[in-house]
């Protein structure tokens, strides 16, 4: 191969341009894929957060409606005002059985100020008398309005409502509190979306002894030492490894955050997290989201491969067509002129250059043929000039 020839230089430059173009295309496809995957991951977190908010609002509405219905029953208010625990239990136990079927796991009655103590736990009737000093209790005592929010207690991490109960004379007989475990939320969310969820707690809001005691009462493994900053309270899968997060939950923005994309076997997943606040506004926990994006990932990857093959095939075909045209229109005709010039120099004055077109090369062919004729004419007169 003659590396000094124009044809070789053109071919080399075209090859370099083709490689650069292919690299740019692959990088663009990779950027597009990563961006689409990031958007999908972000939508997973936002969708899970929206679904959790809707579920939370629905349950709060349900518990508020139960409170309103309860306040229409004077017998319940009178039993609470009279501190007749047995009668209050007899009046509410049948209703609690129905409420548990609807997800309400905690139901309590509290005595009014100034002692503000637990009077009756429907979910644990034998345990009562403990004094309350939570944000919920202070707020409902201050406003005498329904207070709603999330709270971590011995009974679990739940969304709760607490509201005053009035007697027929308009006096406050005490307070009623309902709660639904947030763990039921993530299991309901999985049934709707198919994604996996984990309920995490911020360790700095959890007492070590409380966690040990609650783990024992709920017959679960004490996982306090599994991570430095977080605790896994509940998950929708038997594997807790995918929910490991040792960051600071309080530093997560309200919109949540995408953590990473990872592969497990033949599947591809994205992980994200969004915070949960308690009634006092503390970011006490978070919902961890794991979505399987394998179908999207491999579909995009297949599309990327197909487009890459098509682009390479198109560039190769274009290069071949271009070289064929270049050879036909320029190089072959130049080679023909070189051959004629070589013959003329060798003494063959009869070979003519055929003008093949009116393009730039054709004009050059015409000029070269005129030059050849002049050159041949001059050579033919040299003997005559020598005789003179």
Residue 349 confidence (pLDDT) above 80: no
Bigger pLDDT: 31 or 383? 31
Contacts for 274 with CB less than 8 Å, ≥ 6 apart = 45, 48, 49, 52, 252, 254, 255, 256, 257, 286, 287, 289
Do 178 and 74 share a structural domain?
A: yes
Cα 105 to the center of its chain, rounded Å: 32
126 shares a domain with 30: no
pLDDT band at 281 (very low <50, low <70, confident <90, very high): confident
114 within a domain of the structure (yes/no): yes
Q: Residue 376's domain spans which residues? A: 300-387
pLDDT tens readout for residues 243-269: 888 788 888 888 898 888 888 788 888
pTM, entire model: 0.72
Check which CATH number belongs to the domain holding 129 and give it.
Answer: 3.30.450.20
Tokens representing 215 are: 């783990």
Q: Are residues 308 and 338 in the same domain?
A: yes
Q: Are residues 216 and 270 in the same domain?
A: yes
Q: What is the CA radius of gyration of the chain?
A: 42
Is 156 part of a structural domain of the chain?
yes
Residues 44 and 160 in one domain: no
Write down the mean pLDDT value for the chain: 84
Q: Is residue 135 part of a domain?
A: yes
Half-sphere exposure at residue 35, Cβ-oriented, CA atoms within 13 angstroms: 6
- Give residue 1's pLDDT: 54
Last residue of a domain, one of 183, 201, 231: 183
The arithmetic mean of pLDDT across residues 281-286, rounded, is: 88
Domain assignment present for 188 = no
Which percentage of the chain shows pLDDT scores above 90? 21
The answer to whether residues 173 and 228 belong to one domain is no
Strand partners, 307: none
* Residue 2 covered by a domain: no
Q: Do 163 and 65 fall into the same domain?
A: yes
User: 155: pLDDT confidence band, cut at 50, 70 and 90?
Assistant: low
Helix 85-101 to helix 74-81 angle (10° resolution) is 130
> Considering 148, 183, 218, which residue would you say is the last residue of a domain?
183
Say yes or no: 75 and 169 in one domain: yes
* pLDDT in the model for residue 4: 65
**Residue 9 maps to a domain:** no
Q: Does some domain include residue 257?
A: yes
pLDDT digit string (tens) for 180-231? 888 888 998 999 988 999 999 988 888 888 888 878 877 888 888 888 888 8
Domains in the chain, number: 3
What band does 152 get if pLDDT is binned at 50, 70 and 90? confident
Residues 6+ apart with CB under 8 A from 81: 167, 171, 173, 174
* Closest listed residue to residue 369, CA positions, set 386, 344, 346: 344
Q: What integer is the mean pLDDT of 24-29?
A: 82
pLDDT, tens digit (0-9, with 9 covering 90-100), for 354-368 = 777 777 777 887 887
Asked, for residue 17, whether it belongs to a domain, the answer is: no
pLDDT over 90 (residue 237):
no
Mark whether 245 and 157 lie in a shared domain. Answer: no
Cα separation, 257 vs 272, in Å, equals 6
Query: Is 235 in the same domain as 260?
Result: yes
Instruction: Choose one of 269, 293, 317: the last residue of a domain.
Output: 293
Same domain? 87 vs 233: no
173 and 204 housed in the same domain:
no
pLDDT digits (tens, 9 = 90+) for 55-83: 888 888 888 888 888 888 889 999 999 99
Predicted local distance difference test score (pLDDT) of residue 154: 63
Integer CA distances (angstroms), 104 to 59, 157, 175, in order = 8, 13, 17
Please check the confidence at residue 164 and state whether its pLDDT lies above 90: yes
CA-closest candidate to residue 29, choices 379, 366, 335, 310: 310
């Amino acid at each position: 191969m003659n590396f000094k020839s124009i044809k070789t230089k053109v071919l080399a430059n075209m090859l370099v341009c083709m490689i650069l173009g292919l690299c740019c295309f692959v990088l663009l496809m990779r950027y597009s894929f990563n961006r689409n995957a990031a958007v999908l991951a972000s939508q997973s977190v936002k969708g899970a957060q929206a679904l959790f908010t809707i579920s939370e609002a629905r349950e709060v509405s349900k518990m508020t409606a139960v409170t309103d219905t309860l306040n229409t029953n004077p017998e319940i208010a009178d039993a609470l005002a009279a501190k007749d625990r047995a009668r209050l239990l007899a009046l509410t136990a049948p209703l609690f059985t129905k409420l548990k079927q609807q997800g309400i796991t905690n139901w309590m009655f509290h005595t009014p100020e100034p002692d503000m103590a637990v009077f009756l736990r429907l979910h644990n009737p034998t345990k009562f008398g403990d004094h309350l000093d939570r944000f919920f209790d202070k707020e409902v005592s201050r406003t005498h309005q329904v207070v709603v929010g999330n709270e971590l207690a011995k009974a679990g991490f739940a969304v709760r409502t607490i509201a005053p109960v009035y007697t027929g004379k308009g006096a406050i007989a005490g307070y009623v509190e309902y709660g639904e475990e947030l763990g039921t939320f993530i299991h309901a969310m999985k049934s709707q979306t198919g994604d996996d969820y984990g309920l995490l707690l911020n360790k700095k809001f959890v007492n070590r002894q409380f966690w040990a005691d609650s783990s024992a009462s709920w017959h679960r493994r004490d996982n306090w030492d599994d991570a430095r900053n977080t605790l896994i309270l509940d998950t929708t899968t038997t594997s807790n490894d995918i929910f490991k997060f040792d960051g600071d939950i309080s530093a997560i923005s309200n919109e949540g955050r995408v953590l990473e994309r990872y592969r497990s076997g033949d599947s591809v997943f994205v992980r994200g997290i969004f915070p949960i606040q308690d009634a006092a506004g503390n970011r006490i926990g978070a919902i961890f989201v794991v979505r399987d994006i394998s179908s999207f990932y491999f579909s995009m990857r297949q599309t990327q491969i197909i487009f890459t093959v098509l682009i390479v095939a198109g560039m190769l075909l274009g290069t071949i067509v271009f070289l064929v045209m270049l050879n036909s229109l320029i190089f072959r005709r130049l080679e023909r002129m070189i051959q004629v010039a070589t013959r003329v120099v060798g003494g063959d004055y009869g070979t003519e250059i055929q003008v093949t077109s009116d393009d730039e090369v054709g004009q050059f062919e015409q000029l070269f043929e005129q030059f050849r004729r002049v050159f041949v004419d001059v050579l033919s007169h040299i003997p005559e000039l020598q005789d003179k």
